[in-house]
């Protein structure tokens, strides 16, 4: 793969570094890239399980796809079920009792010495985006299972002071239903019952998709899926960073300080369908041209929110400076009807994904953006509907869990590299994670793992085998504090 940054990645690098500067005082560290020989000469460090087997499992899971030639696993798809079966076998191999809940989440649990103590939940998602990389989601599930397998093989699993439950969530990406965190939000008790009736492109609802797989979800049993907060101690998640900061700092692991809030919109623009050869330009109500203008407006607002928002009008309590450094907006999906080269479309729909660390700033942007979009549609005599499909507020990770994860990461890196001078970095996440939904249930903490070039949501996503090992060792060190 070309390791040079493209312009887009370069912009993201700058953004991430800015976020990092806002969130940590660490200075760039020397590169911790380990060679196999170096590490094995110090210690075995459960290499066969935490590295060799974990990497083999990531590769195996990365082949479980609904598509030929690229990775795609959406909520309740045939490949998602196959992936679930594979992971279930690995959960059992780690000595966990397993089950699937009515939202399709896969659970593996060990009770330890006290089944009624508050449980530690560890999770990530088994679904993927379209044309995905193999680490997003899967790395968190597999590193947790590898660490538990080590405890099981050591005979120490029964000595855990509290139950440990690994959860492979059924939907985090929101590709099929445009509503993310279906699985984790249900367990956290924040999935509205109306979510069961959301339809995919073929008109299949969330409820139907579950029913097709013999999972009966009703309004009543959705409420019962919510975990009792009193039964849970906390939630942790390992995830690839999906950005370039750790690589830039030369560190395999980092602790997440907080996660940016996000909103997803679906914009529908309707105009007058007609013949491409006969309707004069001055008489058209073309939703495609209107959509193009709306998308360029979105880009301008998100590049320079200061030009569109004002302190007195929108932002009494928020800092435009911090908004400008974290705001990112994307149109990732667009479709037209009837989609033929000689037809002026009747309708265009597109998605908007909008994220910022500042929730009030995000709201102000959506308010201003919507106003300006409606004005453009009015001027062009097309109709415009803006649906809010998903919202998640920014999340601050728990400081106690974060410092425990920091110590665990430090201990893992020390074991691998010997003496370590630098502090484990702390960084913000621009990407969304199941931890956002789980934060409504319990305290959350996250550990990021370095990835190549900051690339994710792409088949070029890559994590060094040694960094997979480091992640497994860090979770193991964290679990050892629960013995």
Report the C-alpha gap between 57 and 61 in whole angstroms. 6
Q: Are 427 and 246 in contact (CB under 8 A)?
A: yes
Nearest approach, Cβ of residue 174 and ligand GLV (Å): 7
Instruction: Identify which of 161, 139, 157 has the alpha carbon closest to the alpha carbon of residue 149.
Output: 157
Question: 432 touches which of Mn ion, ligand GLV, none (CB within 5 to 8 A by kind)?
Answer: ligand GLV
Question: 247 touches which of ligand GLV, Mn ion, none (CB within 5 to 8 A by kind)?
Answer: none
Name which position in 137, 252, 254, 271 contacts Mn ion (CB under 5 A). 137
How far out from the chain centre does Cα 454 lie? 14
Report the C-alpha gap between 472 and 124 in whole angstroms. 14
The answer to the question of residue 254 lying near Mn ion (CB under 5 A) is: no
Nearer to ligand GLV, 23 or 263 (CB): 263
Question: 241 touches which of Mn ion, ligand GLV, none (CB within 5 to 8 A by kind)?
Answer: none
Nearest approach, Cβ of residue 341 and ligand GLV (Å): 32
How far out from the chain centre does Cα 380 lie? 37
The answer to the question of residue 123 lying near ligand GLV (CB under 6 A) is: no
Instruction: Identify which of 421, 411, 134, 407 has the alpha carbon closest to the alpha carbon of residue 250.
Output: 421
Name which position in 136, 237, 353, 461 contacts Mn ion (CB under 5 A). 136
Report the C-alpha gap between 51 and 470 in whole angstroms. 8
Using the 8-state DSSP alphabet, how is residue 103 labeled? T
Residue in the shown chain whose Cβ atom is closest to Mn ion = 136
Give residue for tokens 């999935």: 191
Question: 137 touches which of Mn ion, ligand GLV, none (CB within 5 to 8 A by kind)?
Answer: Mn ion
The answer to the question of residue 72 lying near ligand GLV (CB under 6 A) is: no
Nearest approach, Cβ of residue 188 and ligand GLV (Å): 17
Residue in the shown chain whose Cβ atom is closest to ligand GLV = 432
Name which position in 431, 476, 477, 479 contacts ligand GLV (CB under 6 A). 431
Give residue for tokens 């191999």: 93
Nearest approach, Cβ of residue 247 and Mn ion (Å): 18
Please calculate the CA angle 232-236-241 and round it to the nearest 5 degrees.
Answer: 160
The answer to the question of residue 175 lying near ligand GLV (CB under 6 A) is: no
Region of 73 (left: φ > 0; alpha: ψ -120 to 50; beta: rest) is beta
The answer to the question of residue 432 lying near ligand GLV (CB under 6 A) is: yes
Structure tokens given for 160: 């855990």
Question: 237 touches which of ligand GLV, Mn ion, none (CB within 5 to 8 A by kind)?
Answer: none
Nearer to ligand GLV, 382 or 431 (CB): 431
Region of 132-140, 329-337, 368-376, 418-426 interacting with Mn ion (CB under 5 A) = 132-140
Rounded to whole angstroms, what are the CA distances from 376 to 115, 199, 289, 308, 310? 59, 29, 11, 15, 21
Q: Which of residues 154-173 bind ligand GLV (CB under 6 A)?
A: 173
In the chain, % helix, strand, coil (3-state, to 5) comes to 40, 20, 40
Nearest approach, Cβ of residue 463 and Mn ion (Å): 13
The answer to the question of residue 425 lying near Mn ion (CB under 5 A) is: no
Nearer to ligand GLV, 173 or 358 (CB): 173
Phi and psi angles of residue 459, each rounded to the nearest 5 degrees, phi first: -65, -15
Instruction: Identify which of 112, 127, 21 has the alpha carbon closest to the alpha carbon of residue 73.
Output: 127
Report the C-alpha gap between 467 and 476 in whole angstroms. 14
Nearest approach, Cβ of residue 353 and Mn ion (Å): 11
Nearest approach, Cβ of residue 451 and ligand GLV (Å): 13
Nearer to ligand GLV, 261 or 432 (CB): 432
Rounded to whole angstroms, what are the CA distances from 275 to 227, 272, 383? 56, 10, 19
The answer to the question of residue 133 lying near ligand GLV (CB under 6 A) is: no
Task: List contacts with Mn ion (CB under 5 A).
Answer: 136-137
Query: Which residues are near ligand GLV by CB under 6 A?
Result: 173, 431-432
């Amino acid at each position: 793969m070309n390791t040079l940054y493209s312009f887009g990645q370069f912009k993201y690098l700058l953004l991430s570094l800015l976020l990092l500067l806002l969130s940590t005082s660490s200075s760039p560290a020397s590169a911790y890239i380990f060679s196999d020989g170096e590490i094995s000469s110090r210690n075995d460090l459960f290499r066969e399980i935490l590295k060799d087997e974990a990497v083999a499992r990531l590769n195996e899971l990365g082949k479980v796809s609904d598509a030929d030639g690229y990775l795609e696993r959406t909520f309740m798809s045939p490949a998602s079920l196959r992936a679930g079966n594979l992971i279930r076998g690995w959960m059992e191999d780690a000595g966990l009792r397993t089950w699937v809940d009515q939202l399709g989440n896969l659970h593996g649990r060990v009770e330890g010495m006290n089944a009624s103590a508050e449980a530690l939940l560890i999770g990530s998602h088994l679904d993927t985006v379209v044309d995905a990389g193999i680490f997003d989601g899967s790395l968190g599930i597999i590193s947790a299972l590898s660490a538990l397998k080590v405890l099981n093989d050591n005979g120490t699993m029964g000595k855990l002071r509290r139950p440990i439950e690994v959860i492979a969530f059924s939907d985090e990406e929101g590709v099929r239903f445009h509503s993310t965190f279906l699985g984790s939000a249900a367990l956290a008790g924040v999935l509205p019952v109306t979510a069961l009736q959301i339809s995919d492109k073929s008109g299949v609802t969330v409820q139907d998709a579950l029913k097709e797989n013999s999972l009966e979800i009703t309004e009543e049993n959705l409420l019962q899926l919510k975990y009792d907060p009193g039964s849970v101690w906390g939630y942790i998640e390992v995830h690839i960073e999906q950005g370039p900061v750790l690589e830039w700092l030369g560190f395999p692991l980092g602790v997440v300080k907080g996660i940016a809030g996000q909103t997803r919109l679906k914009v529908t623009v309707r105009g007058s369908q007609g013949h491409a050869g006969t309707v004069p330009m001055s008489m058209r109500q073309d939703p495609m041209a209107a959509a193009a203008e709306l998308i360029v407006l979105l880009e301008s607002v998100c590049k320079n929110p200061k030009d569109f928002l004002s302190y007195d009008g929108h932002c009494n309590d928020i800092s435009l400076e911090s908004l400008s450094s974290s705001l990112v907006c994307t149109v990732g999906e667009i479709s037209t009807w009837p989609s033929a080269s000689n037809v002026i479309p009747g309708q265009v729909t597109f998605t908007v994904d909008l994220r910022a660390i500042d929730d009030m700033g995000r709201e102000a942007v959506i308010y201003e953006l919507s106003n300006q979009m409606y004005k453009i549609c009015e001027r062009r005599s097309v109709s415009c509907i803006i649906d809010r499909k998903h919202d998640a507020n920014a999340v601050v990770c728990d400081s106690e869990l974060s410092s425990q994860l920091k110590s665990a990461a430090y201990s893992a890196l020390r074991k691998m590299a010997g003496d370590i001078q630098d502090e484990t970095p702390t960084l913000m996440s621009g990407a969304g994670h199941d931890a956002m939904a789980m934060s409504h249930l319990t305290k959350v903490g996250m550990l990021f793992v370095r990835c190549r070039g900051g690339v994710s949501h792409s088949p070029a996503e890559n994590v060094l085998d040694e960094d997979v090992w480091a992640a497994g060792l860090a979770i193991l060190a964290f679990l050892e504090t629960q013995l």
